[in-house]
Amino acid sequence: MSEEGNRRDVYQDVTDRIVFSIEQGANKFDTFELPWYRGGVTQRRPTNARTGNRYRGINVIGLWAAALANDFGSGFWAT
């Protein structure tokens, strides 16, 4: 298999996480609420654990979606 065939599509991963998070926001009463407005870890912007810098742009939404999908309890990220 070629190297390109082994690469993850980061854009598709982020899109899938966002769609999943939006779908989780629809409840049985058909009142739509984006899941990242529910409080908790998604009430504040994701922050780099080492530098203390806050993430910007699409990274914020992607990290919020990942936090919700994995039940992370902290807004700090380190890799």
Q: Is residue 3 part of a domain?
A: no
Q: Is residue 5 part of a domain?
A: no
Confidence of residue 50 (pLDDT cuts 50, 70, 90): very high
Confidence of residue 75 (pLDDT cuts 50, 70, 90): confident
Q: Classify the phi-psi angles of 23: left when phi > 0, otherwise alpha if psi is within -120 to 50, otherwise beta.
A: alpha
Q: pTM of the prediction?
A: 0.57
How many domains, the chain?
1
Report the alpha-carbon distance of residue 10 to residue 8 in Å, rounded.
Answer: 6
Q: Is residue 2 part of a domain?
A: no
Identify residue 33 by its one-letter amino acid code.
E
Phi–psi pair at 33, nearest 5 degrees: -140, 125
Q: Is residue 27 part of a domain?
A: yes
Q: Is residue 40 part of a domain?
A: yes
User: Can you give the pLDDT at residue 1?
Assistant: 44
Q: Is residue 29 part of a domain?
A: yes
Q: Residue 15 is part of which domain span? A: 11-77
How many distinct helices (H) and strands (E) make up the chain? 3, 2
